[in-house]
């Protein structure tokens, strides 16, 4: 756990002795005989620990200089550990410095082993403060994200959703692991948000991870964090998603996309309730509520040797299956009105309405992309319309999944590709592995295209 230390003392023999002693204990040992450039030196070298003499002018032993520079250091960066160097007769001054924020003090002449032990402890505190500050920033950002309007907006009245909502009420207040299943675009993250909102952990954050977008090479760093220097770009210690979700909820979306080796790592973390950062051998206890989601049939994947049965047992204490939008009846129109109001406000197009003929059209469509496709459809219609009434010509649905229609018409290659993906997902009932093979692309490429087209 090496870092950078700055030593300030007007006695050059003291500087030389300390530099020789500590050169193997720290990555960098920097010395100054005058404190005037102290703050600039800290900025330039990202100093972790400062050894600071109490007095710099001959014949003056008030310690005021040391106290002054201590305040300057902590004003610049309160996480820096400052240790005062003082003579035996100035112990009271050193105690005063500790009360002002110094980590500790050492007496001249010092005991080498005690000095090194004190420095190691001060460096550990510095690392802990930096880590805590990072976690607080991350937590604050996540909490702000969760507070955004509409982040957890569930719109429903249909009987198909009644069982889902009843299950949420029963399960939310427990710590049971929940697996949410359903086709792409049905709102699995919204259901996870509802479970978190009504849980005993709702004062903490819900951290969401799209497992389909996490590359295998960065998986452990993303989920479990890493130690500084553990790989080329690891310039500082970093907490992973498990740590960030401490005391809160961890939502693993599309968990069926994990390879068998990555499944084993997730299982080990869940079983042991600890994680170990990349480049470290120190286990870190984690206390999370786990919610997972998938659009795949995990039991079929187990039979095919693509998913671990023991992991499924671990994640699906309770299973909540979301119905596709086509089975939710008039929820289609409720959602359409919600998105219409949202995008009418966003694009300054007030008093927009959907005609009766257009409403019937929306109800007849099979919505292979589910709620996400409906949202995209309404937004596009709002952007393009010049009228106050959206009619059947406002929606580009005639070309896809409404029965008894004529030849398909596309304006761009992107539109054709988007509809081809939607049709394949619908035909294969959301099995992304089969969809990718059918389309002749990799599964990762398929997920990239889903993001591109907001499917």
Cα–Cα distance between 256 and 432 in angstroms, integer?
10
**Is the same domain home to 253 and 379?**
no
**Can you give the pLDDT at residue 402?**
54
The packing angle between helices 370-384 and 331-346, to 10°, is 40
Q: What is the chain's length?
A: 455
**Is the same domain home to 391 and 304?**
no
| Greatest mean pLDDT among 90-94, 110-114, 314-318 | 314-318
What the block records as the tokens of 221 is 């760093």
* 124 within domain boundaries: yes
User: Domain boundary residue among 74, 95, 130?
Assistant: 130
> Which strand (E) or helix (H) includes residue 49?
strand 49-53
Q: Which CATH number do you get for residue 276? A: 3.40.50.300
pLDDT digits (tens, 9 = 90+) for 45-55: 889 999 998 87
**Is the same domain home to 304 and 173?**
yes
**Is the same domain home to 292 and 351?**
no
**Is the same domain home to 442 and 361?**
no
**Is the same domain home to 357 and 235?**
no
> Which strand (E) or helix (H) includes residue 335?
helix 331-346
Q: Which CATH number do you get for residue 66? A: 3.40.50.2300
Look at residue 417 and tell me whether its pLDDT is greater than 90: no
* 139 within domain boundaries: no
User: Domain boundary residue among 295, 321, 347?
Assistant: 321
Among the residue ranges 191-205, 207-221, 441-455, the one predicted with the least confidence is: 441-455
Domain extent for 367: 332-405
Cα–Cα distance between 451 and 173 in angstroms, integer?
32
Among the residue ranges 27-41, 379-393, 423-437, the one predicted with the least confidence is: 423-437
**Contact by Cβ (8 Å): 235, 228:** yes
The separation between CA 380 and the C-alpha centre of its own chain, rounded to angstroms, equals 30
> Which strand (E) or helix (H) includes residue 426?
helix 413-427
**Contact by Cβ (8 Å): 102, 70:** yes
* 360 within domain boundaries: yes
* 326 within domain boundaries: no
**Is the same domain home to 224 and 113?**
no
**Is the same domain home to 184 and 308?**
yes
Look at residue 435 and tell me whether its pLDDT is greater than 70: yes
Nearest Cα to Cα of residue 219 among 173, 182, 263: 263
* 138 within domain boundaries: no
**Is the same domain home to 161 and 253?**
yes
Q: Which CATH number do you get for residue 431? A: 1.10.10.60
335 band by pLDDT with thresholds 50, 70 and 90: very high
Look at residue 61 and tell me whether its pLDDT is greater than 70: no
User: Domain boundary residue among 321, 352, 385?
Assistant: 321
Residue 200 φ then ψ, to 5°:
-75, -5
**Can you give the pLDDT at residue 445?**
81
What the block records as the tokens of 44 is 């330039």
Sequence-distant (≥ 6) Cβ neighbours of residue 110 within 8 angstroms: none
Look at residue 240 and tell me whether its pLDDT is greater than 80: yes
In angstroms, the Cα distances linking 59 to 27, 55, 89 are: 35, 9, 14
pLDDT digits (tens, 9 = 90+) for 116-161: 999 999 998 898 888 777 666 665 655 555 444 444 478 999 999 9
241 band by pLDDT with thresholds 50, 70 and 90: very high
**Is the same domain home to 119 and 75?**
yes
Mean pLDDT for 173-192 is 95
Look at residue 102 and tell me whether its pLDDT is greater than 50: yes
Look at residue 259 and tell me whether its pLDDT is greater than 50: yes
**Can you give the pLDDT at residue 133?**
74
Peptide bond before 95: cis, by omega within 30 degrees of 0? no
Cα–Cα distance between 42 and 350 in angstroms, integer?
56
Q: Number of folded domains in the chain? A: 4
**Is the same domain home to 261 and 277?**
yes
Q: Which CATH number do you get for residue 355? A: 1.10.8.60
* 216 within domain boundaries: yes
In angstroms, the Cα distances linking 1 to 49, 87, 124, 236 are: 12, 29, 8, 12
In angstroms, the Cα distances linking 112 to 21, 31, 120, 138, 348 are: 8, 18, 12, 39, 71
* 144 within domain boundaries: no
**Is the same domain home to 110 and 232?**
no
Q: Over the chain, what is the mean pLDDT?
A: 87
């Amino acid at each position: 756990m090496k870092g950078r230390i700055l030593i300030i003392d007007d006695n050059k023999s003291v500087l030389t002795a300390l530099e020789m002693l500590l050169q193997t204990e720290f990555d960098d040992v920097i010395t100054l005989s005058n404190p005037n450039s102290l703050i600039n030196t800290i900025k330039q070298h990202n100093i972790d620990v400062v050894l600071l003499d109490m007095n710099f002018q001959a014949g003056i032993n008030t310690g005021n200089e040391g106290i002054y520079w201590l305040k300057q250091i902590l004003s610049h960066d309160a996480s820096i550990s400052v240790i005062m160097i003082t003579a035996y007769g100035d112990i009271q001054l050193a105690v005063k410095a500790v009360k002002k924020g110094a980590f500790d003090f050492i007496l001249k002449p010092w005991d080498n082993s005690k000095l090194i032990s004190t420095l190691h402890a001060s460096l550990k505190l510095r690392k802990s403060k930096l880590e805590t500050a990072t976690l607080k920033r991350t937590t604050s950002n996540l909490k702000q994200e969760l507070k955004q309007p509409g982040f957890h907006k569930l719109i429903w009245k249909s009987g198909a959703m009644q069982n889902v909502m009843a299950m949420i009420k029963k399960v939310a207040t427990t710590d049971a692991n929940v697996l949410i299943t359903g086709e792409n675009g049905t709102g699995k993250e919204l259901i996870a948000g509802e479970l978190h909102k009504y849980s005993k952990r709702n004062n903490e954050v819900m951290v969401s991870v799209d497992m389909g977008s996490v590359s295998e090479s960065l998986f452990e760093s993303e989920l479990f964090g890493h130690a500084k220097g553990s790989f080329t770009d690891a310039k500082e210690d970093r907490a992973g998603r498990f740590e960030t979700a401490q005391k809160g909820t961890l939502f693993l979306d599309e968990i069926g996309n994990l390879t068998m080796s990555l499944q084993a790592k997730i299982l080990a973390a869940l079983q042991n309730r600890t994680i170990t950062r990349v480049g470290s051998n120190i286990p870190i206890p984690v206390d999370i509520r786990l919610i997972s989601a998938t659009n795949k049939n995990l039991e079929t994947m187990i039979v095919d040797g693509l998913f671990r049965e023991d992991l499924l047992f671990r994640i699906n204490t309770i299973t909540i299956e979301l119905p596709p939008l086509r089975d939710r009846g008039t929820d289609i129109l409720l959602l359409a009105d919600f998105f219409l109001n949202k995008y009418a406000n966003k694009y300054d197009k007030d008093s927009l309405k959907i005609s009766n003929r257009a409403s019937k059209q929306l109800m007849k469509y099979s919505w292979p992309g589910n709620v996400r496709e409906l949202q995209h459809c309404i937004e596009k219609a709002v952007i393009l319309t010049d009228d106050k009434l959206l009619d059947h010509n406002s929606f580009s649905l005639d070309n896809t999944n409404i029965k008894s229609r004529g030849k398909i018409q596309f304006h761009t290659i992107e539109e054709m590709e988007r509809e081809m993906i939607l049709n394949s997902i619908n035909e294969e009932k959301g099995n992304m592995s089969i969809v990718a093979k059918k389309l002749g692309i990799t599964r990762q490429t398929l997920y990239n295209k889903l993001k591109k087209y907001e499917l």
